[in-house]
Structure 1
Amino acid sequence: MPEPPDPAHEAITPAGGGAMSLASSEAETLEAGPGPRAGGREPGAEPAALPGRARSLWSDAWHDLRRNPVFVLSALVIVFLVLIALWPRLIASGNPLRCDLARAQDGPRPGHPFGFDTQGCDVYTRTVYGARASVTVGICATAGAALLGSVLGGLAGYFGGWWDALLSRLADIFFGIPIILGGLVFLSVVPSGSVWPVVGFIVLLGWPQISRIARGSVVTAKQHDYVQAARALGAGHTRLLLRHIAPNAVAPVIVVATIALGTYIALEATLSFIGVGLKPPTVSWGIDISNASVLIRNAPHILLWPAGALSVTVLAFIMLGDAVRDALDPRLRR
């Protein structure tokens, strides 16, 4: 008589459905959940609440940022700066270009709390309106450098090969250009003196740093198991980059870009101070600092207020970047 088939042997043989059949039935069992005999819930009953639901990286970071006084203080300062950059008449009703030489270098008086500059212009009004140029340059330059650097660095880290080598050598060339010397050469060719040439120059020299960060993050992210699993399931390059790699590699880029924003504002003021950045009639803190530097002994109030506004702005963005870094870096969590 033929022996009865072994159930275990039949489960792994092609005739019995093989491993795929076993895995399919196991998956159906897990999806259905335990039955009433295994202590599961009855059909139609409300699902039990999960006791310890884990938060995502972003929700966990926001939870920490809201309780960080450094982040709250710097964010309030930045929001205030953005508001006066968009609507300076909220706190300043004068005209920054209206000057009276008879009041040149005069000190504070009612209605003019910061005094007058060398041309008789109200220092308070020019300090308020100077936020527009600095904030515009900082935000636009950071957005452009972050976008260009993230795209080039992400593609280099994902595809590797000759594209990675070409981008790395190109970034080395830009890293070797001194910023001030590059600004003197580049902005001397562009006689405009408006905001956008300065933004373009900062983007041109700022993207290599962010591309290095983006490349390293993508190289690390693409080696994770979930990316390998998505590739094995047939996901294309676009889906892998946008759905699986980019969301998990963007945190270091955000941290570097936030800190760099304050640096770019200081760079714009430096270029305007040496005469190759923004030029009159554009109102800029760098221009006012440059005009007041020769009179620091006779009229220090002309230099004090624009320099103080610039310092507070740069410090606020750097503090914000430090707080974001502490919240997004798992190694710094307590």
Structure 2
Amino acid sequence: MSNILPGGPAIAPEESPAPPSAETKASKPASLWSDAWYDLRRRPIFIISCIIIAVLVLMAIWPSLFSSVDPFNPRTCELSTARQLPSAGHPFGRDNLGCDMYARTIYGAANSLKIGISTSIFAALIGGLLGLVAGFFGGATDTVASRITEIFFAIPSILGALLIGSTFRGSGLGIWLVVISLTILGWPMTFRIMRAAVITAKSQDFVVAARALGAGPMRIMFRHLLPNALAPVIVVATINLGGFIAAEAALSYLGVGVQPPEISWGLMIADAQRRFLEAPLPLIFPAVFLSITVLAFIMLGDAVRDALDPKLR
């Protein structure tokens, strides 16, 4: 009811502000990561690659889920059944030593993924940290780090890994020798990506404002620059992961990677190629699984790259 003052106009009562609607509450400032996740969920290539990778990871962590210990034992071999064709009991057949190909293919995923993921993480950490420092400080630090990186770029990856693997083959490191070899030769790419991203980001207004407020170098690097330069590094690390898995298979094929009695798709391909014309299936199955794995990580990296780069949308 309106208030009427004597001799004056009617004054309407003050209206209380309307409560915020659900739409207003839900609307938050958009960020690069939220937009990227929104875009990724609508990309079939991302969903397909994630499903494939999830199955492969499950194979590596829990191989018995796909093949029971008996009769699918990867280390139980019978020479009398060598190169046996696929059957109901052995869906992939047997290899040249009479080992069950299905069990060896399933169990071979563990070492391949372990080496690929470990190498990708270590290469991203080393290259990312050095690139962050070099890009932020510049000057002599950047010059020395860039020249060292160029030296590693000049070394052919497979040749360098062969040299390291053959030199330290008897060190007892096992699969970690492959991880170290590939990490030593794999970090320079991440270094260049991180360095370029940091050089671009450090001239932005938010960094200038942080300096003006008295923020120190460590706070600026890890609180302001790193989150804004991380997206391209994640993309490169994801794509490189597939490349590292392929490189491990190549090293195992050449005899300096995973060593028996360990199981690896590269070792299986190396053993099967000697009698490929007589029995092609022992080579085809691990090669197909290797190709699908590498392709899945490359597809995932491409999808993440497209989602994180607004120019490509």
TM over 0.5: yes
In the alignment, which of 159, 164, 167 is matched to residue 145 of structure 2? 167
Larger gyration radius, structure 1 or structure 2: 1
- Correspondent of 2:232 among 234, 245, 252: 252
State the distance in 1 between where 2:155 and 2:26 align. 56
- Match status 1:61 vs 2:36: yes
Contact 1:214 / 1:253 at 8 angstroms: preserved in 2?
Answer: yes
Matched position secondary structure for 2:298 = helix
- TM normalised by structure 2 equals 0.90
Q: Distance in 2 between matches of 1:264 and 1:277?
A: 12
8 Å CA contact 2:161, 2:185 repeated in 1: no
Residue 314 of structure 1: aligned partner:
294
Q: Which of residues 298, 306, 309 is equivalent to 1:326? A: 306
Shift of residue 54, structure 1, vs aligned partner:
3.8
Distance 2:73 2:174 in 1: 19
* 1:105 and 2:83 aligned: yes
Question: How far has the Cα of 1:51 moved from its partner?
Answer: 9.5
1:154 aligns with 2:117: no
- Say which is worse superposed, 303-312 or 180-189, in terms of deviation: 180-189
Instruction: Give the 3-state SS of the residue equivalent to 1:283 in structure 2.
Output: coil
The equivalences for 1:115-134 within 5 A come to 115-134=93-112
* Alignment check: 8 A CA contact 2:265 2:287 kept: yes
Contact 1:41 1:47 in 2 (8 A): no
Which sits farther off after the overlay, 79-88 or 185-194?
185-194
Q: Distance in 2 between matches of 1:270 and 1:96?
A: 21
Match of 2:253 in 1: 273
AA partner of residue 104 (structure 2): R
Q: Does the Cα contact within 8 Å between 1:258 and 1:321 map onto a contact in 2?
A: yes
> Is 1:294 matched up with 2:269?
no
Looking at structure 1, the residues matched to 87 and 27 of structure 2 have their Cα atoms a distance apart, in angstroms, of 62
SS in 2 for 1:177: coil
Mapped partners of 2:15, 2:129: distance in 1 = 49
Q: 1:263/1:51 Cα in 2 relative to 1: closer, same or farther (>3 Å)?
A: closer
| CA-CA distance at 1:291 after TM superposition | 0.7
* Distance of 1:46 and 1:244 partners within structure 2: 35
For residues 290 and 310 of structure 2, the distance between their equivalents in structure 1, rounded to whole angstroms, comes to 32
Structure 1 gap segments, 5+ residues each: 1-39
Deviations, residues 255-290 of structure 1 (Å, cap 9, x unaligned): 000000000000000000011111100100000001
Whole-Å separation in 1 of the counterparts to 2:222 and 2:165: 36
In the superposition, relative to structure 1, how do residues 159 and 105 fare at CA in structure 2: closer, same or farther (>3 Å)? same
Work out the CA distance in 2 between the residues paired with 1:52 and 1:119: 63
Paired amino acid for 2:264: S
Task: Encode CA deviations 1:13-41: one digit per residue, 9 max, x unaligned.
Answer: xxxxxxxxxxxxxxxxxxxxxxxxxxx98
| Structure 1 residues 107 and 50: CA distance shift in structure 2, 3 A | closer
**Could you tell me which residue of structure 1 aligns to residue 59 of structure 2?**
84
Identity of counterpart residues, as a percentage?
Answer: 54
Shift of 1:329: 0.7
The equivalent position to 2:48 in structure 1, one of 73, 89, 92, is 73
Q: Aligned partners of 1:193, 1:275: CA distance in 2, in Å?
A: 15
- Equivalent-residue separation in structure 2 for 1:258 and 1:123 (angstroms): 29
RMSD: 1.7
**CA shift in 2, pair 1:300/1:226, >3 Å:** same
CA distance in 2, matches of 1:252, 1:147: 13
Question: What is the aligned partner in structure 2 of residue 211 from structure 1?
Answer: 191
What is the CA deviation profile of residues 281-316 of structure 1, one whole-angstrom value per residue up to 9, with x for unaligned ones?
010000000111121111011111000000000000
Match of 1:137 in 2: 115
Change (3 A) 1:147 1:51: closer
Using the size of structure 1 for normalisation, the TM-score is 0.85
**Structure 2: runs of 5 or more not aligned:** 1-13
**Kept in 2: contact 1:193–1:277 (CA 8 A):** no
Any conservation in 2 of the 1:278–1:284 contact (CA below 8 Å)? yes
Instruction: Give 1:233's aligned amino acid.
Output: L
Counterpart code for 1:319: M
Following superposition, the deviation at residue 195 of structure 1 comes to 1.1
